[in-house]
Structure 1
Amino acid sequence: MDAIAHWLHEVFLEPSVTQTIIILSFVSAVGLLLGKVRIGSISLGITFVFFVGILASHFGIETDPVMLSFAQNFGLVVFVYALGLQVGPAFFPSLKKGGIAQNLISLGMVAITFLLCIILYFVLGISMPNLMGIVAGATTNTPALGAAQTTLQQIDPSAANEMTQMALACAVTYPMGVVGVIIALAMLKVFMHKKEEQEEKEAPKTFFSEYEVCNPALDGKTVRDVAHLIQRPFIITRVWHRGTVEIPTSDMILHLGDHVLAVSGEEDTTQLEILFGKREEKDWNRPDIDWNSVDKQLVSRRLVITRSKLNGVRLGNLKIRNLYGVNISRVDRAGVELLPDRDLHLQLGDRLTVVGEGNAVERVAEILGDEVKQLDNPHLTTLFGGLFLGCIFGLIPFYLPGVSMPIKLGLAGGPIIVGILMGAFGPRFHLTTYVTNSANLFLRQLGIILYLGGLGLASGANFFDTIIHGDGFLWVGVGFLITMLPTLLIGWISIKVLRNRYDGTAGMICGSTANPMALDYVNGQVKGDGASVVYATVYPLAMFVRIIMAQIMILVFR
């Protein structure tokens, strides 16, 4: 029995590399199991890993500090880099669809949060490290906590106790950060516009509309000539001439009385109506349209780019319309629909909706690849190369006026910026950055679980003592204020003053607070993916600014 007891003590209680892996795996497994528990529509999800780690540390389980620090930091790097890769392809295109305005509103919310912190710092006398921990919990932004801790360690290597207090403040306020945003979003829903209540769906990113050629100036003009008559981008996907449907080439001649089907932004339909002369009332954007029955002699198929040599190639360089007599009506990239403009750089994994005669579509499929299984092969060289560049970039010092010490993006900021840039522009340099959705989700989940588990184990020893005998209740109250006030204020301004949609506003709030649990709640309340698209649009910049601001606040007010 003594031998068994000694073995159990060595395996579970004696700090070592192996024991740290065992404990971290156990904490993660139990936390994920508890994360399936839901109260109504609310669940803390993988955040339970954090609290199971706190409990384990509270009951005296110690781990190897070096191994635990590695697991925690490596998990953070993998999470933020994979997140950058995911949103990178759609990040810059989304900025052209109102994303700049959404990011400005999101930054306004961030500014209010940190202005409130400065006021609370002077009024309540809470230390800035603790306030940054409260903010990280109240906005469910653990990468910002990591950045603040890194900065504090740089300016004062002996501040281990303050770093622990910062993590405890985050842990105490984190649950209210999750629940508070959901409560605020439920309150904001009463301001939803009447029209949106009836629709409850996001308008398509690409808009189909039919026009009759009534403008005499277009009679005898080619499709290429017509495309250059206005400055707004649009694509003619079908032409009905004397009752016969055709796939237009650039040299096709239009005649009075022809009907054309064009894809454009919805805001450009008025200009197109002026150009062609008359717009038909038929709704071509209904989700139940069977495109193959619209023109039975043509086939509509969604093809996936799987040939690596097409990575980064301009769509116009393929000359698909003129060479094969088919048309590309949609390009779907990471869930965002893009206008198939000739200058669009294609990326591995793009899904193209191709319309044309059956044999021609098959030939185009051979050119594009359309072999989804090829996308399952991981491209680990680019992955680890991106992690390498992200960590290096995070260590570059940036000097800001009035700040004595340089700012570094650290392991939370550097990898996400490089991830976004790699996802957005890597294909232009023929770098294969595509990762399947399931593989990306696996990387993100693995990374954040390692980080949360390590954070809990590293900071949980004094958790309950802080709540009972320390400033825990004060922190909870301050965290609730930091969660609710900016959310309600910016949400009200966005919906009532700026007349934005509720789903977009909710996605902006969830992205600005880095709160995927609240996003799950919103997606259960509204139809369409409008909230998710806006979430991905504002998340990177909001994360970046929060990380930078957390470091500045420590440097200036510590």
Structure 2
Amino acid sequence: MTALLSEPLVLLFVIVVIGTLIGQWSFKGVGLGSSAVLFTAMVFGHYGYEISSMIQNLGLSLFIVAVGLQAGPRFFRMIKTSGVIFGMIGLAIVGIASITTFIVAGVMDLPPALAVGIMTGALTSTPGLAAALEATGDPVASVGYGIAYPFGVLAVVLFVQLFPKVLKVDLMKDLNRRASPIKRISTLKVMTIEVTQDDIHKRTLKELRLAEGTSAVISRVIRGDRTIISLSDTVILKGDRLVAVGNKTDLKKLCEDVGKEVPTNFANQDNIKLRKIKVESDQVLGKSIRELALRGTYGVTVTRIERVGFEFNQNPRWRLEQGDILTVVSSEGRLDEVERLFSRKNLEVTNIHLFSFSLILLLGILVGMIPIYLPGLGTITLGIAGGPLFVALVIGHYGKLGPIRARFFQPSNQVIGDIGLALFLAGAGTTAGAGIVGIIEQEGFQILLAGAIITIVPLMAGFLIAKKLFHLSMVHSLGALCGGMTSTPGLGALNSLVDSEDPAIAYAAAYPFALIFIALMSQLLVLFL
């Protein structure tokens, strides 16, 4: 058996198989989930087995890229509004951890390098440890990291799983009941415009190209007592009234080109309905409105799209994501048909574009290697977590950059993330488990106590800030907490509890702030301790 386990791939998958098997066990609904891989690996690490750091780094990069691609389309829109509160929570958690470390180190008379190492372990931040080692030049920082890291992981995982049960909170009900951290802001207006221009008379909307390239969308045409759904072949006559939706400036320009604004009156339009339809079907995910040809095929007009609380004008090039809400105008029967299209459930499919994914990983790793100079503090890097996350967020936001395609279906991201997380936890566990008993015997109980305090204080404070100060839902609070504690196992545990992308979005919003701030504070604490 020992000979078999000396083979790296055999060892890796023995740990993953045992860990995932244990992770499926639960007691009263509470289990370790994917984090069981970590603790299984720690046992193997204690007995001298080791997973290559390359496998650990690959797994971390895969998991982080999956998170970034999943959250990218929403992350930057969140940062522009009140979504920035997740970043503030991340900064607050690291700030509180730094203050706690300063106090604990003074009371327990811990060496600066050891104290900072404990903090980076409590926050499970490998980039923070690298910054501490660079600032101190003392390998004892790694000892502190190795001591505090297991407790930092376990504390967040258990907190995420147990705390909602202790408070008896149904996570999904709480998420749906509470107001989103993103305020629902709409700048779209409705305007009815009477056609007075002679050059528009008896021409189709396709020929006229009205409002092309702007936010304005003509949803219907009112002719006398009749209401007509606006399609590309709809003929416009002088005296028609066009009902348009868009930004105020674009509507004003459309009005100048067409005629004059008249009061909007939807009376006597029983045949035309407006309905909000949620995107759920795997068949339409990743496709654009243009590709679906909704106007030509189904005779309906999409006037706006709501995504994570934001309302946008309809853009034919936008690719649909699960949970998008479309405002659609047409007759009752046509709306029913389109609603069936968007709610239809098919077998899950994947659409991983290997070239794009590999290029995103490569760019992320290269970005993570770029030294960032900070006056008076030297240089830091984003590392193999921060670099891939940053690149994935940017490319995920745009969806497509040159030859890179980044809008994968949800099942694809899930597969990539699960594999990456298992590899990362297997590597991190064997590293943390090696020699940990000897270190504890040598350094004493106070290091364990210091690690526990530096973990628990920011953990509880961060949660209270999210809940009491920002009034977030439990899901958003826990997601931001995982990001602020840079806990990928915590996020994995939270993802297993809810069928929602919200945890990943909150995590991805808080994580970059926490990642950079930990590296900064690791170097600053060395100066002050």
1:68 aligns with 2:52: yes
CA contact (8 A) 1:349 1:375 kept: no
In the alignment, the residues of structure 2 paired with residue 35 and residue 279 of structure 1 have an alpha-carbon distance, to the nearest angstrom, of 57
After TM superposition, the structure 1 stretch with the greater mean CA deviation from structure 2, 452-461 or 544-553, is: 544-553
Q: CA deviation at 1:329?
A: 5.1
Gaps of 5+ in 2: 197-210, 248-261
CA contact (8 A) 1:138 1:479 kept: yes
Following superposition of structure 1 onto structure 2, how do residues 120-159 of structure 1 map, counting pairs within 5 Å? 120-139=104-123, 141=124, 144=125, 146-151=126-131, 159=139
After TM superposition, the structure 1 stretch with the greater mean CA deviation from structure 2, 504-513 or 529-538, is: 529-538
Q: CA deviation at 1:39?
A: 3.5
* 1:395 alignment counterpart: 369
In the alignment, the residues of structure 2 paired with residue 507 and residue 241 of structure 1 have an alpha-carbon distance, to the nearest angstrom, of 52
Following superposition of structure 1 onto structure 2, how do residues 440-459 of structure 1 map, counting pairs within 5 Å? 440-459=413-432
Would you say how many aligned residue pairs link Structure 1 and Structure 2? Answer: 482
Equivalent in 92, 95, 100 of residue 116 of structure 1: 100
SS state at 1:179 partner: helix
SS state at 1:82 partner: helix
In the alignment, the residues of structure 2 paired with residue 520 and residue 385 of structure 1 have an alpha-carbon distance, to the nearest angstrom, of 25
Following superposition of structure 1 onto structure 2, how do residues 442-521 of structure 1 map, counting pairs within 5 Å? 442-467=415-440, 470-471=443-444, 473-499=445-471, 504-515=476-487
In the alignment, the residues of structure 2 paired with residue 375 and residue 352 of structure 1 have an alpha-carbon distance, to the nearest angstrom, of 22
* 1:37 alignment counterpart: 25
SS state at 2:302 partner: strand
After TM superposition, the structure 1 stretch with the greater mean CA deviation from structure 2, 175-184 or 437-446, is: 175-184
Equivalent in 72, 87, 97 of residue 88 of structure 1: 72
In the alignment, the residues of structure 1 paired with residue 25 and residue 474 of structure 2 have an alpha-carbon distance, to the nearest angstrom, of 28
After TM superposition, the structure 1 stretch with the greater mean CA deviation from structure 2, 240-249 or 545-554, is: 240-249
Cα separation, partners in 2 of 1:331 and 1:148, compared to 1, 3 Å: same
Amino acid at match of 1:121: A
Cα separation, partners in 2 of 1:38 and 1:338, compared to 1, 3 Å: same
CA contact (8 A) 2:219 2:245 kept: yes
1:174 aligns with 2:153: yes
CA contact (8 A) 1:503 1:531 kept: yes
Amino acid at match of 1:402: G
Coordinate RMSD, CA, aligned:
5.5
Amino acid at match of 1:535: A
Q: Deviations over 1:122-147 (max 9, x none)?
A: 332334554455445544x4xx2x21
* 1:416 alignment counterpart: 389
Q: Deviations over 1:355-403 (max 9, x none)?
A: 54699999999xx9x9999973321111111111111111111111221
SS state at 2:82 partner: helix
Amino acid at match of 1:163: S
Gaps of 5+ in 1: 1-7, 14-18, 223-227, 265-274, 281-292
1:28 aligns with 2:2: no
* 1:532 alignment counterpart: 503
Cα separation, partners in 2 of 1:517 and 1:201, compared to 1, 3 Å: farther
* 2:201 alignment counterpart: none
In the alignment, the residues of structure 2 paired with residue 278 and residue 489 of structure 1 have an alpha-carbon distance, to the nearest angstrom, of 53
* 1:268 alignment counterpart: none
* 2:206 alignment counterpart: none
Amino acid at match of 1:80: I
* 1:200 alignment counterpart: 177
Q: CA deviation at 1:417?
A: 0.7
Q: CA deviation at 1:519?
A: 6.5
After TM superposition, the structure 1 stretch with the greater mean CA deviation from structure 2, 447-456 or 416-425, is: 447-456
In the alignment, the residues of structure 1 paired with residue 335 and residue 482 of structure 2 have an alpha-carbon distance, to the nearest angstrom, of 41
Cα separation, partners in 2 of 1:68 and 1:556, compared to 1, 3 Å: farther
CA contact (8 A) 2:155 2:456 kept: no
* 1:544 alignment counterpart: 515
SS state at 1:399 partner: strand
In the alignment, the residues of structure 2 paired with residue 547 and residue 461 of structure 1 have an alpha-carbon distance, to the nearest angstrom, of 25
* 1:272 alignment counterpart: none
CA contact (8 A) 2:74 2:397 kept: yes
Q: Deviations over 1:455-483 (max 9, x none)?
A: 22233232234445643x43443344334
In the alignment, the residues of structure 2 paired with residue 508 and residue 174 of structure 1 have an alpha-carbon distance, to the nearest angstrom, of 15
In the alignment, the residues of structure 2 paired with residue 505 and residue 380 of structure 1 have an alpha-carbon distance, to the nearest angstrom, of 34
CA contact (8 A) 2:305 2:313 kept: no
Q: CA deviation at 1:183?
A: 6.0
1:12 aligns with 2:12: no
Cα separation, partners in 2 of 1:380 and 1:241, compared to 1, 3 Å: same
Q: CA deviation at 1:300?
A: 6.5
CA contact (8 A) 1:180 1:483 kept: no
CA contact (8 A) 1:137 1:169 kept: yes
Q: CA deviation at 1:235?
A: 7.8
Cα separation, partners in 2 of 1:418 and 1:125, compared to 1, 3 Å: farther
CA contact (8 A) 2:90 2:484 kept: yes
1:339 aligns with 2:311: yes
In the alignment, the residues of structure 2 paired with residue 132 and residue 41 of structure 1 have an alpha-carbon distance, to the nearest angstrom, of 36
Following superposition of structure 1 onto structure 2, how do residues 17-416 of structure 1 map, counting pairs within 5 Å? 19-59=7-47, 61-63=48-50, 68-139=52-123, 141=124, 144=125, 146-151=126-131, 159=139, 162-180=141-159, 200-202=177-179, 220=194, 247=229, 302=279, 304=284, 326-328=300-302, 331=305, 336=308, 338-342=310-314, 346-347=318-319, 353=326, 355-356=329-330, 376-403=350-377, 405-416=378-389
TM-score, length basis structure 1: 0.67
Q: CA deviation at 1:22?
A: 1.0
In the alignment, the residues of structure 1 paired with residue 55 and residue 230 of structure 2 have an alpha-carbon distance, to the nearest angstrom, of 56
